[in-house]
Structure 1
Amino acid sequence: MNLSLLLLFVFSNISPPAPSPVSSITVNTPSELHASKGDAVTLSCTFISTSSPTSKMTVNWSYRPQSGGPPVSFFHFYSRAYPTTEGQFNGRIRWQGSPARGDASILLINATLNDNGTYACTVRNPPDVHGSTTSHTVLTVTPKAVRIRFSDVAVLLAFVLLPSAIITLVLLGQMLCPRKKRNQSKAYRSPIEVTEGIFIDLSFSALFQDPDEHDYYLQELKKRRTIDEGYAESGF
């Protein structure tokens, strides 16, 4: 066997090395978040890595204002949390992630209208060098709606309706139960009553021929009339 055949035999039995698996990572965040002013907002960020998280894993959060401009980094994680100590997010960021569970979320406390904008979560987990390492979330913060409690409505109705109800009851009472007006003038006597009185006088004159008896009964009749007139003037 010559040398050329020997070399051909040797190289034909040598296979090329298998390619090493490519490490990759995928980061996911919700595309949009909505909150009211003063709320605590969870900026969710999860990741899937082909390698288990190690002490070299890093998380970075940045913010781009709604009005535009360059992104500003305000949170960093490298074995422990490093929230910013300056700017609008100072003292308002809490770490809520768990690298072992593939969670890199943070909590934004006391959301304001100035927090409107785009938030980017970037996760790196060496040796992962490929994949989607950054994901974005658009946060919209709106003014808190005014809520009317039932107790407030009840107090308002009491102040408005109670006086109206009292006035209505008073007016109805005056309409249904008017005061009895006393007649200050002398009692009116009809012509029939006058005629009856004259007839009685004439009857007495005819019945009693004795002048003393006649005068006595006339005085008694006058007393009776005086009493009747007194009752009439008093309104009874």
Structure 2
Amino acid sequence: MRRPLRRTSALNVVLLLYWLCCLAPSPVSSITVTTPPEVHASKGDTVTLSCSFTSTSRPTSKMTVDWSYRPQSGGPPMMFLHFSSRAYPPTEGQFGGRIRWQGTPARGDASISLINATLNDNGTFTCTVRNPPDVHGSTTSHTVLTVTPRVPSIRFSDVAVLLFFILLPSAVITLILIGRMMCPKKERNQSKAHRSPIEVTEGDEYGIPGYTHKEDGAKCCDLYLMDSDEEYYLKDFKKRPPEVEGYADSHC
């Protein structure tokens, strides 16, 4: 009585293992798709949306890649690129003319690039890869794109130009003002230091206002061209006795 029971239990174990093997997914029929969880970019940048996959089967003409987009505000996803032997980028709509296929399926790459990113592109991008007979595993992966306004940057050349046209004129003007404040005082001090205390002009020596050394060099013929008032003043001056030592009569 014990032998039939043992045979029945062994048979049940074999049947259970058989059903488990049939129902469990085959480890050789799986695919894994990977994308970065987040991508950040500035407005106007060209953004690379990476997507890589691993498959137990070699990619064939039956392999397909689909890229879809869901806006940040919500709503149903929208497929905008399909790959099957070749890429079919969008020609119209939100991404029309701004999507380029960058993938190499033979190397497990299904990446794309988004040209001239805008703030309206914020949202979730989904990459889906199918490579029959690999039908199990993680066939999709998501990437959240965040586009921010571009921050204006100042180049070193711009700073150098501003410094040249602002600081240089200011420095020159400052030096000129300092020079004008210092030079007059220096000239007065030098004139007082080099001038003799008995040095006087010839006009002041004889008490003749306006009489300068230039007039001493006047010729006799020039005296006849003087006015009557000037001639009278000159004759009256000659009649005066010399009051200062070193006075000499005119040679005319």
Common fold: TM-score over 0.5: yes
1:105 maps to which of 111, 127, 138: 111
**Cα shift at 1:220:** 4.0
**Cα shift at 1:161:** 1.6
Is 1:77 paired with 2:99? no
* 1:222 match: secondary structure: coil
Task: Give a deviation string over 1:82-137, Cα, whole Å, max 9, x none.
Answer: 11111111111111111111111111111111111110000011112211111000
Give the aligned partner of residue 136 of structure 1.
Answer: 142
**Cα shift at 1:159:** 2.4
**Cα shift at 1:223:** 6.5
Give the aligned partner of residue 206 of structure 1.
Answer: none
Task: Give a deviation string over 1:115-169, Cα, whole Å, max 9, x none.
Answer: 1111000001111221111100001111222111122112212222223222211
How far apart, CA to CA, are the structure 2 residues paired with 1:123 and 1:33?
A: 20
How far apart, CA to CA, are the structure 2 residues paired with 1:223 and 1:171?
A: 47
Is 1:58 paired with 2:64? yes
Q: Given residue 90 of structure 1, which amino acid in structure 2 is its aligned partner?
A: G
Distance 1:118-1:221 versus aligned 2 partners, 3 A rule: same
Q: How does 1:171-190 map to 2 (within 5 A)?
A: 171-178=177-184
Give the aligned partner of residue 21 of structure 1.
Answer: 26
Distance 1:116-1:224 versus aligned 2 partners, 3 A rule: farther
Task: Give a deviation string over 1:54-89, Cα, whole Å, max 9, x none.
Answer: 111100000111111111111000111011111111
**Cα shift at 1:225:** 8.1
Task: Specify every segment of 5 or more residues in structure 2 that has no aligned partner in the other structure, as ranges.
Answer: 1-10, 192-197, 199-239
Is 1:124 paired with 2:134? no
Q: How does 1:146-225 map to 2 (within 5 A)?
A: 146-178=152-184, 219-222=241-244, 224=246
How far apart, CA to CA, are the structure 2 residues paired with 1:159 and 1:224?
A: 63
How far apart, CA to CA, are the structure 2 residues paired with 1:43 and 1:111?
A: 12
Task: Specify every segment of 5 or more residues in structure 1 that has no aligned partner in the other structure, as ranges.
Answer: 1-10, 183-188, 190-217, 227-236
How far apart, CA to CA, are the structure 2 residues paired with 1:108 and 1:133?
A: 22
Task: Give a deviation string over 1:180-207, Cα, whole Å, max 9, x none.
Answer: 689xxxxxx9xxxxxxxxxxxxxxxxxx
How far apart, CA to CA, are the structure 2 residues paired with 1:116 and 1:94?
A: 18
Give the aligned partner of residue 230 of structure 2.
Answer: none
Distance 1:224-1:93 versus aligned 2 partners, 3 A rule: same
**Cα shift at 1:49:** 1.2
In the superposition, the TM-score normalised over structure 2's length comes to 0.64
How far apart, CA to CA, are the structure 1 residues paired with 2:41 and 2:247?
A: 94
* 2:184 match: secondary structure: coil
* 1:77 match: secondary structure: strand
How far apart, CA to CA, are the structure 1 residues paired with 2:116 and 2:58?
A: 34
How far apart, CA to CA, are the structure 2 residues paired with 1:21 and 1:117?
A: 35
How far apart, CA to CA, are the structure 2 residues paired with 1:225 and 1:61?
A: 116
Give the aligned partner of residue 203 of structure 1.
Answer: none
How far apart, CA to CA, are the structure 1 residues paired with 2:35 and 2:132?
A: 21
* 1:177 match: secondary structure: helix
How far apart, CA to CA, are the structure 2 residues paired with 1:222 and 1:100?
A: 120
**Cα shift at 1:21:** 3.1
How far apart, CA to CA, are the structure 1 residues paired with 2:156 and 2:80?
A: 42
